[in-house]
A = this chain, B = another copy of it.
Amino acid sequence: MQQPSEPSKPRPMPLGPTPSIRRLPRYLEVLEAELAKGHTQISCTTIAEATGQIAVQVRKDLAITGIVGRPRTGYQIAALTDSIKSFLGWSDSCEAFLIGVGSLGRAILGYSDFKQHGLDIVGAFDADPSKIGSLVHGRQILHPSKMPNLARRMNITIGVLCVPQKFAQDAADLMVQSGIRAIWNFTRPGLKLPPGVIVETVQLTATLAVLTSRLKAMPKDPNTCIPASIHSKNRP
């Protein structure tokens, strides 16, 4: 699969299909659990069972990371973990800045798991004077005007955007000016950004829409989410 014949040429880095990439973090969790059980090898069948998928899909997903398994034995857990992390850019956690320390920004700052998942938020910014200087989960809040210099000095390439909607475009512009090239966007989609800057927008309302519409479409109590009575299975 990988042909390391010309290591000097800047190879066209494989992108990989989005659905596969989205499944990779889940596989990492399974690998960690299996390693904790004392196993060193794992097969696609095992991963598939643990994640509720079929083995072929797991195999295809793993293949995009460049890993090569062995028939009969499967994959070395350690090597597979490295391969996935390397592909995702999670080998060393990237340093990131966060702007907008409202309740969501605060929650993200407090979610320490991200450090294992490629993201280490090393700076937090907010324009609210009453917040500046205060500590939130160990980070001192700075004024956004400090971002450009600091980001360039620290070579920050990832920004987490959590400001209120009306400040979203300005804050994104500031990130771009600061040399940030990838934005994890918790504001609405539709930011105008120069080419070469990557955005991933988290739309919580999209998943909420799926949940509520499926609930509404359920066989029982079809037209409302406040059923007349939960127990009246067969009304006359």
Contacts and interface: CB of A to CB of B under 8 A. Distances in A.
A1 interface: no
A88 interface: yes
A157 B205 contact: no
Interface in A200-217: 200, 202-217
Interface residues of A, number: 74
Interface string A11-53: 0011110100111111001000000000000000000001110
Contacts of A89: 212-213, 215-216, 225
B198 A230 contact: no
Interface string A93-134: 011000000111011011101100111000000000000000
Nearest to A28: B205
A205 B14 contact: no
Given A205-B25, A209-B21, A211-B182, A103 B110 contact: yes
A155 interface: yes
Contacts of A212: 88-90, 94, 118-119, 158, 182
Given A51-B190, A107-B103, A196-B218, A213 B21 contact: yes
A117 to B, nearest CB: 5
A207 B15 CA distance: 15
A179 B216 contact: no
Given A157-B215, A225-B157, A208 B107 contact: no
6 shortest interchain CB distances as A-B pairs: A107-B107, A89-B216, A103-B110, A22-B206, A200-B211, A89-B212
6 contacts: A25-B203, A26-B189, A94-B226, A184-B207, A198-B215, A202-B207
